[in-house]
Amino acid sequence: MKRVVITGAGTINALGHSVAETLEAMREGRCGIGELDFRDVDRLAIKIGGQVRGFEAEGRFNRQQMALYDRFTQFTLTAAREAIGQSGLEFSGELAARSGVVLGTAGGGVSTWDDNYRLVYEEGKNRVHPFVVPKLMNNAAASHVSMEWNLKGPSFTVATACASSNHAMAQAFQMVRYGMSPVMITGGSESMLCFGGVKAWEGLRVMSKDACRPFSANRNGMVQGEGAGIFVFEEYEHAKARGADILAEVAGFAMTSDAADIVMPSKQGAARAMAGALADAGVNRDEVGYINAHGTGTAANDKTECAAVADVFGPHADNLMISSTKSMHGHLIGGTGAVELLACIMALRDGVIAPTIGYEEPDPECALDVVPNEAREAKVNVALSNAFAFGGMNAVLALRKV
């Protein structure tokens, strides 16, 4: 088995248009959640979200590209450019032939569905643009990354709702680890902040109207976000040989299924995923200094997740830090694990723990060190990133400092 390291990272989300901007916002505990701004927002009961601001596709992409790129693809390409640029890799010959792209998204081109349903149902049109299908398909973003950077190896898209990115990154990790590919581009993106995308979530009645306050006793639900996180996963010797800057090592992962309920999370499923990731990485539980929580801010998730952490870590649960950055960037659904991995990298590389902001009242059912409201300096050698999806599909990644 080969060691796998991260040699590039890129993002765009409500906190910033780059990794540097995002990490600065996390260090400052800044909130990227605000009033939603799109057509028919007045017909929504939920009017807040972690929307990407100041992002104009015009100018970044040419007319032909604009016709083919849904917003989730635009986010992906923007983040991929930053990540691959940082890695310094150029793909040609054998490297191109064996390197690929595995991305996560829950909804794919949601706003393309939304816009075109509106045209045919509401406006009564009988003809849609010829690129509707290639624009909305879930693998569109992965395909455009492969085309843009000449990645000719295994590429596909994973959809496991809110765990999509973590499942995708776990898969990419495995492919590099077992020598199938020397480099994989991975992560995920989501762009559901349009009328239909928010209306669908409203139906579940798990959304907050004012803020995302994970682990706080007065939490009242989740808040949607949007954006992308993209990483370059590279075989360690390959990275070392070319003198690449290594951000962190991907040490292990585990995936589990609750096999129980389509929406309610299971403590056992979450605990088995965390314990599995530790075992896969070969680390002891007391080596874990930080967990980036799934931490959605719903009653169900947060207490189940905290109970699972207590089960897995025993007395060490009181020594480790666990925070939910969703309080700042919102829940990016299929892209969330990718943006949240940045907080793990910051903990390992910079020794800065991103806070859980909006924390107002302790909850006895979430009695862990949730790094409330202010970032903290701490030396961390191993970090976990949790993602527990609707449908009971869980994926946890373990990262190690290099």
Interface residue list for other proteins (CB under 8 A):
63-64, 67, 127, 129-131
Cβ-based nearer residue to other proteins, 39 or 129: 129
Minimum distance between the CB of residue 128 and other proteins, rounded to whole angstroms? 8
Cβ-based nearer residue to other proteins, 64 or 92: 64
Minimum distance between the CB of residue 228 and other proteins, rounded to whole angstroms? 25
Query: Do residues 397 and 6 lie in contact, with contact meaning Cβ atoms separated by under 8 Å?
Result: no
Question: What is the C-alpha separation between 8 and 23, in angstroms, rounded?
Answer: 15
Cβ-based nearer residue to other proteins, 133 or 259: 133
294 is catalytic: yes
Cβ-based nearer residue to other proteins, 44 or 68: 68
17, 144, 294, 329: the active-site residue: 294
Q: Is the alpha carbon torsion for 20, 331, 147, 111 positive or negative?
A: negative
**How does DSSP assign 168-209, residue by residue?**
HHHHHHHHHHTTS-SEEEEEEEE---SHHHHHHHHHHT-B-S
What length does the chain have? 402
Query: Do residues 56 and 110 lie in contact, with contact meaning Cβ atoms separated by under 8 Å?
Result: no
Would you state the structure tokens that stand for residue 258, as one six-digit string? 């609750």
Task: State CA 195 to chain mean position distance.
Answer: 22
Minimum distance between the CB of residue 67 and other proteins, rounded to whole angstroms? 7
Kindly give the residue spans of alpha helices, DSSP state H, lying in 106-257: 110-117, 132-136, 140-149, 164-177, 195-204, 236-241
212 is catalytic: no
- Number of C-alpha atoms within 13 angstroms, CB side, residue 172? 36
Minimum distance between the CB of residue 130 and other proteins, rounded to whole angstroms? 4
Query: Do residues 14 and 4 lie in contact, with contact meaning Cβ atoms separated by under 8 Å?
Result: no
Query: Do residues 108 and 226 lie in contact, with contact meaning Cβ atoms separated by under 8 Å?
Result: no
Minimum distance between the CB of residue 108 and other proteins, rounded to whole angstroms? 19
Minimum distance between the CB of residue 35 and other proteins, rounded to whole angstroms? 34
31, 162, 194, 366: the active-site residue: 162
Cβ-based nearer residue to other proteins, 131 or 390: 131
17, 331, 344, 366: the active-site residue: 331
Cβ-based nearer residue to other proteins, 65 or 220: 65
Helix or strand run (H / E) with residue 400: strand 393-400
CB crowding 310-320: b at 16 or more within 10 Å, else e: bbbbeebbeeb
316 is catalytic: no
Catalytic residues: 162, 294, 331
